Amino acid sequence: MSSLEEACLLSCEQWVDSFGQMPKHKFSREHKKAINKILYSDSKKYKVTFSKRNIKILLIAAILFSFATTVFAIPTCREHILNKFSNHSEYSVTSSDKTKDVKSLDVNYVPNGFKIFEKDTNKSGYIYEYRHDEKIFTVEKIMIDIPINFDTEKYGSEEIEINGIRAICYRSDDDIYGIIFNNGEYIFSISGNLSKDELVKIAQNVE
């Protein structure tokens, strides 16, 4: 039994023991007659009872089921491959046998002052460009099987997390930061001459 199961069992036992002795209740004759029709047959009589042990088992099963449901609800990403060359790197996704056309791009966080400047949309990818004075950033959503090349000649790249998903963060020679990750269905790329923290906020709010 794992540590999680032992902890759940101990917690359930303490909870069930806290019930104490249940008070007895006297049911009416009509109530007993109706219950007997449900519990007893003409050929064989049987009675369904729940012991404390059965209650504990049911509670543990319910808790483990809720954990499993939560795990399946967590967004997953596909493993990526990072190929490094002399002056750039390439991000690609493994096991990309099932691809989906890109039909939408939602950018749910835009820094103050920025307005959308240009949109480029097709089945393989959506690209939105935002500008504010001399500042600019782009958000790209492409099909899962399309590799992305980015500049790593001078600064290289590092691995970060975006909403629990492994992502690549890089900085190009002209001080452009970029973030690349996938959600299992599409690849997202966010880049611009903003701070790394600001780009992370944008990346956390795209879909």
**Domain layout of the chain by residue ranges:** 3-73, 80-203
Count of CB atoms situated within 10 Å of the CB of 123: 10
Residue 20 has pLDDT above 50, yes or no: yes
**Model confidence over 159-193: pLDDT tens digits?**
999 999 999 999 998 889 999 999 999 999 999 99
> Whole-angstrom Cα distance, residue 106 to residue 121?
13
DSSP SS3 for 55: helix
**Looking at domain 80-203, which CATH architecture does it have?**
2-Layer Sandwich (3.30)
Q: Which carries the bigger pLDDT value, residue 51 or residue 154?
A: 154
Nearest alpha-carbon partner for 187 in 156, 158, 147: 147
Residue 181: the pLDDT is 98
pLDDT score, position 159: 96
d(CA 124, CA 144): 9
Amino acid occupying residue 195: S
Q: What is the pLDDT of residue 71?
A: 42
pLDDT at residue 41 greater than cutoff 90: no
